[in-house]
Structure 1
Amino acid sequence: MSLENYGILKAKPKDCKRGKGKSAHYQILVDDGKNEHRIAVNINSKVAPSELLYFADDNFSHPIIEKLGSLEMGYKSLDRSSRDLRLDYVRGGLFDTSKMVPLECDVPGPSNDLNELIQKYVEKAAAMDNGMLYAFGERWGPESFLPDSFFGFRPGSGIHDIHMNQGNSEKWQDDDAPCQDGGLLIHLPEENRWVAIFLAFQSQCFNTDDTTGHCLPDVPQKVPETSSQTCEVEEPESTEAGSVLIVGALVNPEGVDSGKESVTLFNASPKTIDLAGWSLKDASGRKSNIKGKIRAGSGTRILFSGKGVILSNGGGTISLYDNQGTLMHEVKYSSREVRSGWTIVF
């Protein structure tokens, strides 16, 4: 599965806060001329080893920078049609990944941890009239009723996942996809240069599948040369709408609903279908990623954890999307069809 809201935020840096502790983030307050946003840069891993891999090019040169300057201020969603703006550490020719080194987030001494190295470039951009940050990652918000938890502005909004987003370990594998890596590009016009900061977790691998972005541990390490490449990957094979159908839903299981609600899918096509990257959504837009394979003429039951899709006893809609975000099937049910312990058949 890919990130749901991958894109780029172009804005002027205003303030920053250092990160500490497990899952620490370096926080950057930025302004796009209309609204404030927060860029949350992960600088520490909850999974050992805790140090992130880091590479900074303080004189970055790549065809992508020619396109960034013409972007309007603010957030821009980067869909498949925006390949020339999407980042890919493995295929994009951005830098030599073998030069990434592990770096702690917060240690005594000057210029020797991620907080200080990122801050050095952010402060340079903030001090220049036209200094600009370009953050690649996943957007959140706007959260109309919530102030930002670090800088207090309203509505809360920003961008995170400013790191490689493929080759993840199994726990985070649903976020994998090529051409959706995070990063921080900084334009310093008064010094006539660009700075690029790239980050990855040590638990990630750089040998990834061209379609899914999943780790391929038995394949020799890919080290792309820095070049004029843009992000080009093989498009996954499309699945015809109606190939996989939602045929049942257990909306109101006996006892506590959480962790027991489920949807049953059926493969009506003549071939096995890989559900990697597919998802289900409820009427409120809550999403659960799914995976696995369904053989031709067979079904599979998807059990919800309670953290994504929630099936309302009052009626609702269940939607199935493929790995390109295309709606494949959708069903509706009413409260009259909901019975304790019974599966609704569509």
Structure 2
Amino acid sequence: MPVSKYGVLKGTIAGHLRDADDDHYQILVSADGTMFRIAVNVKSSAPKAPSDLLFMTSNRIPDTYVAALQELGPGYTRLASKPGGLALDYVRCDWIKPTAMRAVPPYQAGADNDLKDKIEAAVGAAIRQEGSVVYAFGSKWGPEKDKKDRYFRFLPGNGIHDIHMNQGNGAGYRKDNGVFQDGGLVFEYPNGKRQAFFFAFQSQTFATDDKTGNALDDRKPKKNKPSKRANKKSA
């Protein structure tokens, strides 16, 4: 069964929490006065898999795709999991290059060398530059009526998660597999600059079935090998 309520959240970044959760980076977003939280995985909690996520960032986003994003209204938009629209698929969208992904630690001493650093740099730039917009692709939760958000304390709780590849999972997470339902972030700045962030778990494989999103060899899912350029800056 694919992830539930797959779609994209469009809004303005109003806050962020770097160290409130070791496994995630939390981003507060306002969309026409409605508050949402984006929970971005930076670490795998799977006991038998490497904890570092595979990551890539790119500013090469097709103009037609950007134009379609810009036409969206603020807030959450449900997306059909099929080609030709806004739904992301790391394997089937030719402008996403999974072979360029490399393993990046969630946090470590130093500058611009871990996932929290990279997310924080993009978030900070969006906060400083008025008119910036973030698009978060994933699975929506809420609104949670009488329940405040656990991190930012707004009411009702509301947000989006699964901001990572949602196919090629093995046992335990196979139920989340599907095509054209991958997560990610796109930051758009008023100076015309755009940056897309893509995340995957090392326990996932990019060799997936075109209908189910399951690993082609479901009995022995292949692990992705991190790039040998692991200590170099990403594009």
- TM normalised by structure 2 equals 0.88
Matched, 1:94 2:98: no
Alignment correspondent of 2:130: 129
Deviation string 1:86-109 (CA, Å, 9 cap, x unpaired) is 000000113211110101111111
C-alpha distance after superposition, 1:32-52 (max 9, x if no partner): 012111000000001220000
Q: Could you tell me whether the CA contact under 8 Å between 1:83 and 1:179 is conserved in 2?
A: no
1:45 equivalenced with 2:44 (yes/no): yes
Partner of 1:139: 140
1:21 CA displacement: 6.5
Residues 41 and 219 of structure 1, relative CA distance in 2, 3 Å threshold = closer
Question: Structure 1 residues 98, 201: CA separation in 2 closer, same or farther (over 3 Å shift)?
Answer: same
Cα separation, 1, equivalents of 2:145 and 2:83: 28
Which aligned pairs between 1:174-253 and structure 2 lie closer than 5 A? 174-190=175-191, 192-217=192-217
* AA of the residue aligned to 2:165: M
Aligned-partner residue type, residue 25 of structure 2 = Y
Aligned AA (2:167): Q
| Equivalenced residues, count | 219
Shift of 1:134: 0.1
Structure 1 residue ranges without an equivalent (≥5): 222-346
Could you tell me how far apart the structure 2 residues matched to 1:83 and 1:148 are?
A: 34
The whole-number CA distance in structure 2 between the counterparts of 1:81 and 1:216 is 19
The alpha carbon displacement at 1:79 in A equals: 2.2
Instruction: Report the alpha carbon displacement of residue 181 of structure 1 after superposing the two structures with TM.
Output: 0.1
Q: Which amino acid is 1:118 matched to?
A: I
Give 2:167's aligned residue.
Answer: 166
Check 1:84–1:109 CA distance in 2 against 1; reply closer, same or farther (3 A cut): same
Report the secondary structure of 2:186's partner residue. strand
Q: Secondary structure at the match of 1:163?
A: coil
Report how far residue 155 of structure 1 moved: 0.5
Relative to 1, partners in 2 of residues 1:98 and 1:111: Cα closer, same or farther, differing over 3 Å? same
CA distance in 1, matches of 2:186, 2:20: 23
Greater relative contact order (Cα < 8 A, sep 6+): 2
| Contact residue 82 and residue 179 of structure 2 kept, 8 A | no
Task: Describe the SS at the equivalent of 1:143.
Answer: coil
- In structure 1, what is the Cα distance between the partners aligned to 2:148 and 2:21? 23
- The AA in structure 1 aligned to 2:158 is S
> Secondary structure of 1:85's match?
coil
Residue by residue over 1:160-185, the C-alpha shift from the partner in whole angstroms, topping out at 9 and shown as x without a partner, is 00000000011100000000000000
The aligned residue for residue 25 of structure 2 is 26
Match of 2:229 in 1: none
Q: 1:111, CA displacement in angstroms?
A: 1.0
Given the two structures, how large is their TM-score scaled by the length of structure 1? 0.60
Distance 1:165 1:97 in 2: 13
Of structures 1 and 2, the larger Rg is shown by 1
| 3-state SS of 2:85 partner | helix
> CA-to-partner distance for each residue in 1:243-296, whole Å, 9 max, x for gaps?
xxxxxxxxxxxxxxxxxxxxxxxxxxxxxxxxxxxxxxxxxxxxxxxxxxxxxx
